[in-house]
Structure formats: C-alpha cells, structure tokens
Amino acid sequence: MKKSIKQILQDLQQFHGGLGQYYESLKEKAINERTVMMLEYLRNQEDRNSKHLTDYLHETQDKILNKWLNIIPSLPSSIFCHCSKNQFTTAPLTVDDVIEIAMHYDECLIDFLSIIVQETDCSGGADIFCNLLNLIQSEEKKLVRNSQLLLDM
C-alpha cells in the first residue's frame, strides 16, 4: 500500500484531534481537580500537536507532501481507532489512570511512527517522521515528569 506524506500527516492530525477530544470527554469521569488538570494539560498538548501539523501542511512544498511512500499494510487507516481498541475507561478516573491512558496512546503512536521511520529511512522529505518520533518520545518523558509534579501538589 502507498500513501503520500500529506495523507500520513493528515492521519496524524486526525489522531491528535481525536485524542484531544477524548481527553476532554474524560473530564466528566475525573475523581478530583488534579485529574481534571492532567486531562486539560493533555488536551492542550494534543491541540498544539494538531495545530503544528496543520501549519506544517500549509507551509511545506507540495513536492515534499506529494511524495509517495511504501507503507506496510498493517498500518491502520485510522490511528486513533486502532489505538482505542482494548482501551476501556471506567469512572472515577485518577491521575494514575490518566497517565496510563496517555502512555498507551503515546506508545501506540510511537509504534506507528517507528514503522514509518523504519520503512522510509528518514530520507527524501520523510525526515518529518523521524522528527515527530523524537518529539513524541520527548513528550512522553515530560508527561512522566509533569505527572510527578502534579502528584506532589
């Protein structure tokens, strides 16, 4: 299966948008204000990620965006739906629950990007996926640090 860089970035944009909405919907299940704060932090982070991808799509040359990549058929057409499988949440949600949920989605996205990076070798415009992979891994570390600060409050 082939997909253009633009199509993959649009898939990623939809993932971040869907995940941001998901975090927003979980606020009603939060057990306390700290949990709500964590969900708001995560929602804002996903909104920023989606906006950055939108900006990138508008600012990047069509020559790069229209490049076709060979993609392994096992990659999902909807990353968010794929990552949502077997992910169940029950009220009330604690900060630990929210961190576990966020880590699940981060790992799912890391797996997705790792496959693309492995297939593209970060060449010919596909370096965006290497950069995104590094960014997501960095954000995952920040999540752990920020959650500790929240728990210490």
Residue 58's pLDDT is what? Answer: 93
Residue 2 pairs in a beta bridge with 70
Residue 47's pLDDT is what? Answer: 95
pTM of the predicted protein model: 0.85
Q: Which domains does the chain have, with CATH numbers?
A: 2-152 (1.20.1260)
Q: How many CB atoms lie within 10 A of CB 45?
A: 19
Q: How far apart are CA 98 and CA 38, in angstroms?
A: 7
Q: Is 70 left (phi over 0), alpha (psi -120 to 50) or beta?
A: beta
Which residues have a Cβ under 8 Å from the Cβ of 119 and sit 6 or more positions away?
69, 70, 71, 72
Instruction: Output the tens digit of pLDDT for each of the chain's 153 residues.
Output: 788 889 889 989 988 999 999 999 999 999 999 999 999 999 999 999 999 999 999 998 888 889 888 766 555 666 777 777 666 778 899 988 999 899 888 888 898 888 888 877 666 667 888 888 998 888 888 877 777 766 666
- Secondary structure letter of residue 74 according to DSSP: T
Residue 150's pLDDT is what? Answer: 62
Say if residues 95 and 30 touch (Cβ distance below 8 Å): no
Residue type, 4: S
Q: By CB neighbour count within 10 A (0-12 exposed, 13-18 middle, 19+ buried), where does 63 fall?
A: exposed
Residue 125's pLDDT is what? Answer: 67
